[in-house]
Chains A and B, each alone.
Chain A
Amino acid sequence: MSSARPTGNRDRSRRAAGWAIRILRDPAALFGILVLLLLVAAALFASTIAPLDPNKQDLGARLLPPFYAEGGSSEHVLGTDQLGRDVFSRIIHGTRISLTIPLVSVTLAGIFGTAVGLLSGYSGGRADTVIMRIVDTLFSFPGLLLALTILAVVGPSFWTLAIVLSLRIWMVFARLTRGLVLSAREAEYVEAAELVGASPTRIMMRHIAPNLTAPLLTLAVLESAHVILSEAALSFLGLGIQPPQTSWGLDVAIGRQYVFSAPWLIIFPGIAIAVAVLGINLLASWLRVAADPEESAKRFAAAADAPTGWSE
């Protein structure tokens, strides 16, 4: 009776405007979007934004505290590390790794996983059983520990890291895609299309595929947050990003030796990770709700503009 979606022919632009308004209305989503924009900007224009070269050592200015502390200066806003490198500049440059690693891993894993899921869900039958059994088995692998082993043996590098991190994610995409395809195939309108004689290709493209984009996009955003955390953890353990590249996790690992004397070395890169992940998580959880009317109905059910729960 009460329907969420707009009507009429000018839908598309109105719908886009509607989404924009909904993002602006939700502080959490707004925060998420802003964080993401900021991160992308920092990554793209790192050299311009960062005041100093992140790898420029200045042994005369070692372990300087941030601006607010005694001995701090506005030259090194967030202080310097044990080699006199500017912490703020390193964090800005660290954005590049923190964003490219998830971009690469999630893209790789997303494409592969979605393909497998489509195959599994659409073909059904034996192929489906076999694929899903394999995925189940792989899912029971001890994740991080295995990643560590691989990295230790193969040797850490950008690409091994990206690939190792995508090893688990593709399965999540495969499972989700398969589930979506299966439930979309069950939809009555899909059967209705089959009954008017639509070909399998048309069914797939016209009736099933449109159901996949929103959830898969949401998953991609969510998994990016996971990848940022995993990359940071692996870099912290010394098996991720290697110097001279910079990464927030790596910076925390280096700062760890000075945890008592120069805590800012771990505080700020850590905050960078936390804010990035939180922002992306907020965006993902908002997307999940926004893209799914049922979910949004149930969330904040007491809020004024929510539809009802009763049965009529």
Chain B
Amino acid sequence: MSRREHLLEVRNLEVVYPARGGTVQAVRDVSFTVDEGESTGIVGESGSGKSTIARAALGLVELPGRIVGGEVLWRGRSLRNKKYARQVRGPEISVVSQDPMASMSPILTIGTQMTEVMVRHLDLGKKEAVVRAGDLLEKVGIPDPGRRLGQYPFEFSGGMQQRVVIAIALSCDPKMLIADEPTTALDVTTQAQILDLISSLRRDLGLSLLLITHDLGVVAGACDLLNVLYAGEIVESGTADELFYRPHHPYTAALLGSTPRLDVKAERLTAIEGQPPDLRQVVAGCSFAPRCPYATGRCESSPTLGTSSAGRACACWHPLDSHQGNLTGSEGRLGHA
């Protein structure tokens, strides 16, 4: 492992929150890094803990949730230090979340919401901030920024709102953008526009991206590195190509198999039977084992996220290399690399 300093490093993160009938182990021993200019994806279904990770990466875990173990480091310093986290949020890390309408205050103008952070973190005067805000709106593709700055979020369409949210997120020139399901609330043509905008901004500004989504299609184009999350754990990580074309973990493979594709007509989707585990109970062994076709007695003890090949890790006792023909072969599309 290189000792190069990572931009964001999440190390053995554990987050719990109390709920009726027990404590939910929302995030369990999660580690990953994001380096300068890198684009990392976290893919998971609902309840897998991905939004909690997004929040933790900002140094925020909302009450009554608690970080009970591990570290979140930004440039090597812990974001669990509240003061440091407050300095970093805005000028270093910023966020774009799912529902743009809900993400902005409905009763403050776009201008106010853009300039307030600049005035605080960039030491800009009100006037300079307004000029910069206008430039940013233009950059994210909003025409007539001068007039738009005085408007309220409800006066924008959904796609335009998400552009504004992106502009607000960029207002202090951050190093990394955390995008938590940034296109889930949008229509498909608008989604394409927003994904396009994010990737071109990334190129132009050298932004790092932590993209959190349930949509494999979205990460396929937007991310270099992927982490697959299941029941609060990262079960597999690696480059996008490796994960998509040669998934090792049965969950990753199953997820790909159950996603209908526009370009291929499959006779039948390979559904994953059963439900994710109830995280209020302690999960013994591999959390995917109850739904896994390859599970054996060995899976009753937890597999570790061992590194199987360079930069690639998979938490499974029976990684799919050994019986590739079973799943990927029969589907005839995972193996077409």
Contact = CB atoms under 8 A, between A and B. Distances in A.
A124 to B, nearest CB: 26
B20 A312 contact: no
Contact of B20 (A301, A307, A310): A307
Interface string A254-281: 0000000000000000000000000000
Interface string B53-83: 0010000001111000000000000000000
Contacts of A308: 17-19, 24, 62, 64-65
B50 A306 contact: no
Which of A301, A302, A307, A312 counts the most chain B CB atoms within 10 A? A312
A68 to B, nearest CB: 47
A290 to B, nearest CB: 14
B324 interface: no
Chain B contact residues: over half helix, strand or loop, or mixed?
loop
A2 B21 contact: yes
Contact of A310 (B48, B55, B98): B55
A306 B64 CA distance: 8
Contact of B19 (A2, A302, A303, A312): A2
Interface in A200-224: none
A153 interface: no
A301 B49 contact: no
Contacts, number: 49
A2 B22 CA distance: 9
B64 A312 contact: no
A4 B26 CA distance: 18
B6 interface: no
A46 to B, nearest CB: 44
B280 interface: yes
Contact of B63 (A3, A302, A312): A302
A192 interface: no
Interface residues of A, number: 16
A3 B20 CA distance: 7
Given A310-B52, A310-B55, A312-B52, A301 B63 contact: yes
Contacts of B105: none
B98 A1 contact: no
A278 B160 CA distance: 51
Given A2-B21, A3-B20, A301 B64 contact: yes
A83 B150 CA distance: 72
Interface string B216-249: 0000000000000000000000000000000000
A1 B51 contact: no
Given A304-B18, A307-B20, A312-B52, A1 B63 contact: no
Contact of A2 (B51, B62, B97, B280): B280
B46 interface: yes
A1 B19 contact: yes
Nearest to B102: A311
B47 interface: yes
A305 B21 CA distance: 9
Nearest to B46: A312
A306 B51 contact: no
Contacts of A4: 20
Most chain-B CB neighbours within 10 Å: which of A1, A2, A304? A2
A305 B51 contact: no
A1 B19 CA distance: 9
A304 B63 CA distance: 10
Contacts of B47: 1, 312
B62 A309 contact: yes
Interface string A179-212: 0000000000000000000000000000000000
Contacts of B55: 310
Contacts of A1: 19, 24, 47
Interface string B263-288: 00000000000000000100000000
Nearest to B23: A304
Interface in A2-17: 2-4
A39 to B, nearest CB: 34
Contacts of A2: 19-21, 24, 280
A305 B62 contact: no
Contacts of B24: 1-2, 308
Contacts of A301: 63-64
A307 B49 contact: no
Contacts of A303: 64
A310 B24 CA distance: 13
25 contacts: A1-B24, A1-B47, A3-B20, A301-B63, A302-B63, A302-B64, A303-B64, A304-B18, A305-B18, A305-B20, A306-B18, A306-B64, A308-B19, A308-B24, A308-B62, A308-B64, A308-B65, A309-B63, A310-B52, A310-B55, A311-B51, A311-B97, A312-B26, A312-B47, A312-B48
> Nearest 8 pairs between A and B by C-beta?
A2-B19, A312-B51, A308-B17, A2-B20, A311-B51, A302-B63, A307-B19, A304-B18
Given A1-B24, A1-B47, 4 more contacts: A2-B21, A301-B63, A302-B63, A310-B17
